[in-house]
Structure 1
Amino acid sequence: MPTFTATEIAFLMVACQQAVLALGWAIGAVVVPIDRRSALQWACYALLTGSSVLIFIAASQTRSEELRALANLCVATGIVLMERGVRQFTGRPAPWWPYALLVVGVAGLSWLGLDPGYGALRVAIVSGLVALLCALTAWNIYVYARRDLGLAFGHLLAVPLLLGAMVFATRSARAVVSPYTVVAELAGNSSLNIGSAVVFLVTALVFHLALVALVGMRLMAELRRLSRTDGLTEVFNRRAIEEQLHDEARRAVRSQRPFSVLMIDADYFKGINDRFGHAAGDDALRHLTRIMKAQMRDVDRIGRFGGEEFVAVLPGTAATEALNAAERLRDAVLRRPWAWQGEVLPLTVSIGVAAWRGPQDEVPALLKRADAALYRAKALGRDRFELGS
């Protein structure tokens, strides 16, 4: 029966941990609506790093340099998959070929490492590359957490990888400064190996927990987005646009900057549904929404208020500018007819405009003026806009 050193026992714990994590990500890729490609790459990362530990133990038991080289290759490939998975998850994918070249390079260095004279060179370069990949992944996680998810503590999620990068960078530096010492330590039951195993055990667990936290926060952000988005037109729903309107009113009170509201209604929309069916009506609304988005500024907000009625909030816009915006929108809709099943049909809109009058002007009153102006525009013949009084 083989006996295990303290180093090998520590690495066995790492292997068991990685096997459990690999299984968890594989299950998550199947049952949780996340980026499955990222989850599968993280599962492969955990599987490869766990396998590398077992191969390393076998290499120590058999004194096999070939197995040691294979373990290094598994580690490098696993780290590559980890970094690729994070890039995929954060929406910053990169081409495969640089990573493929890196893995091929590590394979070549591992083969060189079979010669004892090149052992320190292998350790220095492979550890340096792994440190670089860990640092790049930490940066991607930090940027995604701060910029995309708006997390003030995004740097904390990157800490485990930064610690891993420091460990590998230290090993790389020591291989350059004291090559024979490092090679001897890595081959035996040294404090360096035991410490590396313990550090990896802790940082790997915390890193995977950070990934789980990122997945959970993305799911929460997506659920929040869906709860505020109209499913048909993909603009704000009524509740969300009302929230935007109240937020803008509060900003206007603080800054004394004006804002305006457009209430937009598709003319003769019921006739489209009656003549062509609801699928055509849905397509007409999507067509209208695309035009509105193209005409609005980045700071403007559009929401579906109900049926064929929309509301646009225009920050920093006084009455005259709002009337100009309404005319541009009306003209853009008229100039871009809607096509359905080979038939080109004109669409027009009626628009009610209401401008904020000051701190005493509450949101319900503002909407009431915009609504009254909209119905006045319809009563006067449609395809026009009116200012609420």
Structure 2
Amino acid sequence: MPTLSATEIAFLMVACQQAVLALGWAIGAAVVPIDRRSALQWACYALLTGASVVIFIGASQTKSEELRAVANICVAIGIVLMERGVRQFTGRSAPWWAYALLVGAVVAVSWVGLAPQYGALRVATVSGLVALLCALTAWNIHVYARRDLGLAFGPWLALPLLLGAMVFAARSARAVVAPDTVVAELAVNNSLNIGSAVVFLVTALVFHLALVALVGMRLMAELRRLSRLDGLTDVFNRRAIDEQLHDEARRAVRSQRPFSVLMIDADYFKDINDRFGHAAGDDALRHLAKIMKAQMRDVDRIGRFGGEEFVVLLPGTASTEALSAAERLRDALLRRPWAWQGESMSLTVSIGVAAWRGPQDEVASLLKRADAALYRAKSLGRDRFELGS
């Protein structure tokens, strides 16, 4: 049995590392509430990358160009799966046809590259395509971290993949500039290749750490989002809407831009619970929240204040426009009745409207006026809105 060189042993360590990381992603896909398709694709990426290293070692031992071609194909498919996993994880389209074309190109170039005179072409093409995929992955991570997760340090998550893209791009360029030496270098047992194996070891680990950090950031963002939402209606909970109100009051002081609030209460809600049960009451609240989301603007903020009572924050809205918003909501509820177990009925609401009075006005006073207007609407017969004085 041929003795392994120091270079081959170093790359074998890379293969072992990738196998462990593949197992970690597979376990993560089974036990962690993340996008399992992405995690499984990252596991396959690690497995194929590790397998390609072992195959390269076999090619070096046997001088087999066929094995080198297979190793190149494994690397390409692995990087494709990594990039596709990131696209799916970040909610971007990942068309199979584009990846199939890319892998097909690698297979074709690897087949042509079996002839020794085309070895440099194989290295240049495969390394260039891998560099492109790494750069695209880095960009997707950067955009997702900054835009969707709001992370100021988003570029740092993409940096390892960007560095990997630069390494592969440099290797592709070197295959073009020095085609006579680049193919033979991998088979040479020297300090350069041993160092390359160590760099690959560290880079591959940092690649996976970047993916782990991406998953962790999304889990944290999801936990933060859930901590601010009402579990039944999927609108802001009381603490979160209170924060939104105080934030808007501070913005209004700086910009002198008006804002208003709607205090909304479902009419005769106790009768629904008594007649149909609490499950029906919960469904009625979800229906009400759905109608409010459909009627309000993207900049408006809806929160459940407690029980069947909701608060809507209307930024940049004076009292006249707030009254119009209350009227639209009331009409929408009449047009879209609530249905329960085959029975359809209209849900009505009473609404108190209050507008911010200026820098001296406090959130507590604003809500007190809206609540007083709501009470007046109820006392005047319900299914109406009143403006706080």
* TM-score, normalised with respect to structure 2: 0.97
Give deviations 1:314-343, integer Å, cap 9, x for gaps. Answer: 111111221121112112212221122222
Contact 1:249 1:363 in 2 (8 A): yes
- 1:55-204 aligned at under 5 Å gives the runs 55-189=55-189, 193-204=193-204
Which one-letter code corresponds to 1:382 in the other structure? R
SS at match of 1:357: coil
Which one-letter code corresponds to 1:297 in the other structure? R
Contact 1:263 1:371 in 2 (8 A): yes
**Number of the residue aligned with 1:258:** 258
- 1:266-277 aligned at under 5 Å gives the runs 266-277=266-277
Name whichever of 229-238 and 266-275 sits farther off.
Answer: 266-275
**Number of the residue aligned with 1:206:** 206
Contact 1:185 1:192 in 2 (8 A): no
Give distance in 1, aligned partners of 2:27 and 2:365. 53
Give distance in 1, aligned partners of 2:371 and 2:332. 22
Name whichever of 379-388 and 341-350 sits farther off.
Answer: 341-350
Give deviations 1:228-264, integer Å, cap 9, x for gaps. Answer: 1011111001111111111111111121211111001
SS at match of 1:33: coil
Name whichever of 276-285 and 352-361 sits farther off.
Answer: 276-285
**Number of the residue aligned with 1:377:** 377
**Number of the residue aligned with 1:13:** 13
Contact 1:186 1:192 in 2 (8 A): no
Q: CA deviation at 1:193?
A: 3.6
Give distance in 2, aligned partners of 1:85 and 1:241. 35
Give distance in 1, aligned partners of 2:51 and 2:184. 23
SS at match of 1:334: helix
Name whichever of 38-47 and 93-102 sits farther off.
Answer: 93-102
Give deviations 1:45-92, integer Å, cap 9, x for gaps. Answer: 011101110111111111111111111111111001100111111111
Name whichever of 298-307 and 171-180 sits farther off.
Answer: 171-180
- 1:260-339 aligned at under 5 Å gives the runs 260-339=260-339
**Number of the residue aligned with 2:47:** 47
Give distance in 2, aligned partners of 1:276 and 1:149. 41
- 1:19-38 aligned at under 5 Å gives the runs 19-38=19-38
Give distance in 1, aligned partners of 2:129 and 2:91. 23
Give distance in 2, aligned partners of 1:191 and 1:148. 44
Q: CA deviation at 1:190?
A: 5.1
Q: CA deviation at 1:379?
A: 0.5
Q: CA deviation at 1:288?
A: 1.2
**Number of the residue aligned with 1:220:** 220
Q: CA deviation at 1:308?
A: 1.1
Structure 2 gap segments, 5+ residues each: none
Decide whether aligned partners of structure 1 residues 101 and 191 sit closer, same or farther in structure 2, where only a CA change above 3 A counts.
farther
Q: What number of residue pairs does the alignment pair up?
A: 389
SS at match of 2:352: strand
Name whichever of 7-16 and 375-384 sits farther off.
Answer: 7-16
Give deviations 1:30-52, integer Å, cap 9, x for gaps. Answer: 11111111111111101110111
Which one-letter code corresponds to 1:13 in the other structure? M
Name whichever of 6-15 and 47-56 sits farther off.
Answer: 6-15
Which one-letter code corresponds to 2:77 in the other structure? T
Give distance in 1, aligned partners of 2:385 and 2:159. 56
Overall identity of the aligned pairs, in %: 88
Which one-letter code corresponds to 2:108 in the other structure? G
RMSD between aligned residues: 1.4
Give distance in 1, aligned partners of 2:321 and 2:184. 76
Give distance in 1, aligned partners of 2:189 and 2:165. 23
Name whichever of 298-307 and 91-100 sits farther off.
Answer: 91-100
SS at match of 1:311: strand
SS at match of 1:205: helix
